[in-house]
């Protein structure tokens, strides 16, 4: 695949600033994101992933079942 975009960020695994890339065939083509803008960027040196600009949806936790009464 051809990298869509590239930026330089601090890589926590490498310990220094490295280029990060996204891999999608077209702009706004991320199948995992409702708006098509992928928040996942990967380090070109080691492959570590960063979520950039990702805002978790607060309402998602309310749909989780209450498991306090269950025993493993």
Express each pLDDT in 20-68 by its tens digit. 988 766 667 777 777 777 888 899 999 999 888 766 665 555 555 566 6
| pLDDT over 90 (residue 10) | yes
How many C-beta neighbours within 10 Å does residue 34 have?
A: 7
Return d(Cα 16, Cα 14) in angstroms, integer. 6
CA–CA distance, 71 with 51 (Å, rounded to integer): 34
- At residue 1, the pLDDT reads 47
60, 69 in Cβ contact below 8 A? no
Contact 50, 39 (CB under 8 A): no
* pTM attached to this predicted model: 0.59
CB 4 within 8 A of CB 23: yes
């Amino acid at each position: 695949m051809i990298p869509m975009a590239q930026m330089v960020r601090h890589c926590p695994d490498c310990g220094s600033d490295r280029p990060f890339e996204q891999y999608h065939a077209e702009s706004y083509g991320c199948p995992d994101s409702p708006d098509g803008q992928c928040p996942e960027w990967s380090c070109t040196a080691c492959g570590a992933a960063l979520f950039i600009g990702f805002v978790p949806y607060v309402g998602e936790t309310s749909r989780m079942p209450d498991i306090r009464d269950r025993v493993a």
